[in-house]
Amino acid sequence: MLDKSQVVTSLLCEDAYKFSMGQAIFHQFSDYKTTWDFRCRNSDVKFTPEMVEEIRRQVRLFCELRFTEDELAYLDKIRWIKGSYVDFLRLWHARYEDFTIDGNAPCGLRIEASGTWLNTSMYEIPILAIVNEVYFRYAYDSDELFGQFERKLSKKIGALCDGSFRLGNFSEFGLRRRLSARAQELAVSMLRDNDSRFAESHFVGTSNVELARKYGVTPVGTMAHEWIMCAGQGNHKHNPAYSNWYALDAWVKEYGILNGTALTDTITTDCFLRDFQLTYATLFSGVRHDSGDPFVWGEKMLRHYEKLGIDPITKTLLFSDSLDFGRATALHDKFSSRCRVAFGIGTFLSNDTDVPALNIVMKVVKCNGQDVAKISDIEGKGMCRNADYVDYLNRCIKWRMENEIGRTQLR
């Protein structure tokens, strides 16, 4: 019998960095407007009309949710969350009117969300979780897939226990592409319950705030690409090649030395390093990798810290791009003696079955009526509606990298 139960049952079913960014948006960018687009990168995946209708129904159910006082009390205890933001969340809910959901796309599913950045930022992760779970419920035998997932997860737990893999500190980052709520919860619970048995790995927490609360682990997450795209490109007076500077500056105004892991690849890591000079490199506890060769990126970051006179052993390199245990172990072995290393592992922990996982994203494409773009460190991870804007942004970055003088001093 087809499972029609509600997919998202709590507003805490959200990646932690949405609350990190949400608080800063509330205090500094509450008037910003954004538009978001859904995209499925799997060329062979088609959403049926029945799936689209069920996705609409699930989104309506999501829009009926409200934060409970117990959930707000949990958020209020997080060190970097302020009471003013908690009070705002007490009033917050998703608006179904912000969504357009239909079948007018090559994959059979089009989703657009438009409204205040305060609202639309909070839609991305639950919508992706809904799309994933609905798709796998309709396209496959859910019980059979869950059985495959459970067997593979048990083998992974065993491999961590016997020392086959060495991860050091790692977190579960799989909410957006999870097989189901049941699968992600099983992964978090088993990782927590077996952590004391892991030979050379330590399970820190999960990006899913709902599960972090339920299982008493750390909610993990700082910023996403949208932060640099909107804070850096949403103001029409800004040169977009300085997106990172505007975004880092706003983050420090909000958090000071707290909650500081900077994302490097929104408009290429090389451009990011022009702005990640002594002040920011000191204030931020580390940096996150999300595209390009992670070994090349790691060496580049260590050289940058050393050039600034900062001992890399005091900083964290957080790797989060398409990781499995084997790749994480190789990165741990390469860098753990030279800096702090951590991993955010997503689909490998939340949606590993005999069936290929969906490669779906929902990205901001406009801010305040203007195109915004992510360039990334590798082809295929960028997203923008307007090729002319991408060309303009690339030319701005190229000019800065080739012509700017006197901006890379220590500061």
Each residue's pLDDT tens digit in the chain (411 positions)? 789 999 999 999 999 999 999 999 999 999 999 999 999 999 999 999 999 999 999 999 999 999 999 999 999 999 999 999 999 999 999 999 999 999 999 999 999 999 999 999 999 999 999 999 999 999 999 999 999 999 999 999 999 999 999 999 999 999 999 999 999 999 999 999 999 999 999 999 999 999 999 999 999 999 999 999 999 999 989 999 999 999 999 999 999 999 899 999 999 999 999 999 999 999 999 999 999 999 999 999 999 999 999 999 999 999 999 999 999 999 999 999 999 999 999 999 999 999 999 999 999 999 999 999 999 888 767 778 899 999 999 999 999 999 987 554 434
On whether both 207 and 58 belong to a single domain, the answer is no
On whether both 95 and 26 belong to a single domain, the answer is yes
Rg of the Cα atoms in the chain = 21
Q: What is the pLDDT of residue 410?
A: 39
Q: Does residue 404 lie within any of the structural domains? A: no
Other Cβ atoms closer than 10 A to 219:
24
Phi/psi at 367 (5° precision): -140, 120
On whether both 162 and 110 belong to a single domain, the answer is no
**Dihedral (C-alpha) 38, 39, 42, 46: value to the nearest 10 degrees?**
60
Q: Does residue 2 lie within any of the structural domains? A: no
Reference 267, options 125, 144, 384; nearest CA is: 384
Q: Does residue 110 lie within any of the structural domains? A: yes
Domain residues for the domain of 312 are 143-351
| Mean model confidence pLDDT for the chain | 96
Q: Does residue 57 lie within any of the structural domains? A: yes
Report d(CA 29, CA 49) in Å as an integer.
Answer: 37
Q: Does residue 221 lie within any of the structural domains? A: yes
For the chain, how far is it from start to end, CA to CA, in angstroms?
62
User: What does the block give as tokens for 194?
Assistant: 């077996």
CATH of the domain at 297: 3.20.140.10
Other Cβ atoms closer than 10 A to 134:
25
On whether both 343 and 369 belong to a single domain, the answer is no
On whether both 287 and 387 belong to a single domain, the answer is no
Q: What is the pLDDT of residue 400?
A: 96
Q: What is the SS3 assignment for 203?
A: strand
On whether both 102 and 169 belong to a single domain, the answer is no
Report pLDDT digits (tens) over 13-42. 999 999 999 999 999 999 999 999 999 999
Q: Does residue 126 lie within any of the structural domains? A: yes
On whether both 134 and 232 belong to a single domain, the answer is no
On whether both 120 and 150 belong to a single domain, the answer is no
On whether both 365 and 376 belong to a single domain, the answer is yes
The total number of structural domains that make up the chain: 2
On whether both 206 and 255 belong to a single domain, the answer is yes
Q: What is the SS3 assignment for 361?
A: strand
User: What does the block give as tokens for 250?
Assistant: 């706003």
Q: What is the pLDDT of residue 408?
A: 47
Q: What is the pLDDT of residue 404?
A: 85
On whether both 135 and 32 belong to a single domain, the answer is yes
Report d(CA 36, CA 117) in Å as an integer.
Answer: 10
Report d(CA 29, CA 251) in Å as an integer.
Answer: 12
Report pLDDT digits (tens) over 210-259. 999 999 999 999 999 999 999 999 998 999 999 999 999 999 999 999 98
Q: Does residue 347 lie within any of the structural domains? A: yes
Q: Which residues on neighbouring strands pair with residue 370, listed in sequence order?
A: 367
Report d(CA 255, CA 80) in Å as an integer.
Answer: 7
On whether both 340 and 369 belong to a single domain, the answer is no
Q: What is the SS3 assignment for 145?
A: helix
Q: What is the pLDDT of residue 406?
A: 55
Residues sharing a CB contact under 8 Å with residue 353, sequence separation 6 or more, in sequence order: 145, 148, 149, 152, 179
Reference 259, options 230, 227, 229; nearest CA is: 227
Q: Does residue 406 lie within any of the structural domains? A: no
Q: What is the SS3 assignment for 158?
A: helix
pTM given for the model = 0.95
